[in-house]
């Protein structure tokens, strides 16, 4: 049984890029007689606008996508804490009190999420009463689990290279969990068997595979799809003046027809589909 999911954050309205991602995920499940799940990733603190979740449900229905909704991330904080506590107890996490500016000034090696944290706080005795972030000791984590593989439906078998991220943050100073920890735990809890998302998150799967090994979680397959690109060839984001899905819906546009156009490659002017294996977009 194939289980996929679409997991938007209610930080802003959904746009065409989200629609494409949801359609890919929905169709992969539907074509295999499986389940397509909606999970609201609403732990982004002040940026999170819970009222947008209702819009998202209406947007998906408008596109003609049937979904089952699972628990929002804000209801799962205990599971993130428990996983972090386990890793902490096993000596795999350390507190980091660096500010963004301090990291920017000291980090020099580029990584997939910006410059790699140089490990300033590793091994230091840091007061955790003040807000700290908790980072994974990447070298130690890899030493414990050994070499790992994962598989993408399009790109094929992959050797896991989580070290390209350095000591990633698993618990953020300002949020209960990082994307890496929350998404990995939730996908396991929700029984997701095929993790579908854009190529821009291809490299994150190296870290997620490592977390699965560390936490004894089931290992899904991945399907990283090509991204919709704007006129400049950049990942389609909310463009100035471009209508959100909710805008289109309220204006009376036919959402099912839009979904079918996207499926058949009929893209609006100025928008193109990126290379399926391009991770840089």
- 158 is an interface residue for Zn ion by CB under 5 A: no
- 107 is an interface residue for Zn ion by CB under 5 A: no
Applying the rule CB under 5 A, the residues between 115 and 134 that interact with Zn ion are: 120-121
- 136 is an interface residue for Zn ion by CB under 5 A: no
In terms of CB distance, is 71 or 105 closer to Zn ion? Answer: 105
Residues in contact with Zn ion, counted by CB under 5 A, come to a total of 4
Minimum Å gap between C-beta 201 and Zn ion is 25
Using the contact rule CB under 5 A, the part of the chain among 16-24, 113-121, 146-154, 246-254 near Zn ion is: 113-121
The first and second tokens of residue 142, run together, are 């890899």
Among 188, 193, 191, which Cα is nearest to 2's? 193
Q: Which residues pair with 135 in a beta bridge?
A: 94, 169
Helix ranges (H only) for the chain are 16-31, 52-62, 77-89, 100-106, 138-145, 179-189, 204-215, 245-250, 255-263
- 96 is an interface residue for Zn ion by CB under 5 A: yes
- Which residues, at least 6 apart from 229, have a Cβ–Cβ distance to it below 8 Å? 235, 236, 271, 272, 273, 274, 281
Minimum Å gap between C-beta 154 and Zn ion is 36
In terms of CB distance, is 63 or 87 closer to Zn ion? Answer: 87
Minimum Å gap between C-beta 267 and Zn ion is 43
- 98 is an interface residue for Zn ion by CB under 5 A: yes
Instruction: Give CA–CA dist 33/31, Å, rounded.
Output: 6
* 237, HSE (Cβ side, Cα atoms, 13 Å): 8
In terms of CB distance, is 98 or 183 closer to Zn ion? Answer: 98
Site for Zn ion, rule CB under 5 A = 96, 98, 120-121
């Amino acid at each position: 049984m194939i289980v996929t999911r679409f997991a938007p954050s209610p930080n802003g309205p959904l746009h065409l890029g989200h629609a494409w991602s949801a359609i890919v995920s929905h169709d992969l499940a539907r074509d295999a007689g499986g389940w397509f799940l909606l999970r609201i990733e609403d732990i982004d603190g002040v940026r999170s606008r819970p009222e947008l979740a209702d819009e998202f449900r209406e947007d998906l229905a408008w596109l003609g996508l049937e979904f089952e909704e699972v628990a929002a991330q804000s209801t799962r904080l205990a599971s993130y804490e428990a996983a972090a506590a386990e890793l902490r107890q096993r000596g795999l996490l350390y507190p980091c009190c660096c500010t963004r500016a301090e990291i920017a000034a000291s980090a020099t090696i580029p990584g997939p999420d910006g410059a790699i944290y140089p490990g300033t706080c590793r091994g230091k005795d840091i007061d955790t009463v003040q807000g700290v972030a908790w980072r994974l000791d990447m070298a130690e984590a890899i030493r414990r689990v050994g070499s790992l593989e994962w598989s993408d439906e399009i790109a094929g078998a992959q050797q896991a290279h989580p070290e390209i991220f350095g000591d990633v943050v698993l618990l953020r100073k300002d949020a209960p969990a990082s994307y890496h920890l929350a998404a990995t735990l939730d996908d396991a809890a929700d029984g997701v068997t095929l993790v579908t998302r854009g190529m821009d998150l291809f490299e994150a799967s190296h870290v997620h595979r490592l977390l699965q090994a560390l936490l004894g979680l089931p290992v899904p397959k991945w399907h990283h799809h090509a991204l919709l690109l704007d006129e400049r060839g950049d990942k389609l984001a909310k463009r100035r003046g471009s209508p959100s899905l909710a805008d289109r819906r309220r204006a009376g546009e036919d959402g099912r027809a839009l979904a079918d156009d996207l499926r058949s490659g009929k893209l609006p002017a100025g928008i193109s589909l990126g290379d399926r294996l391009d991770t840089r977009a």
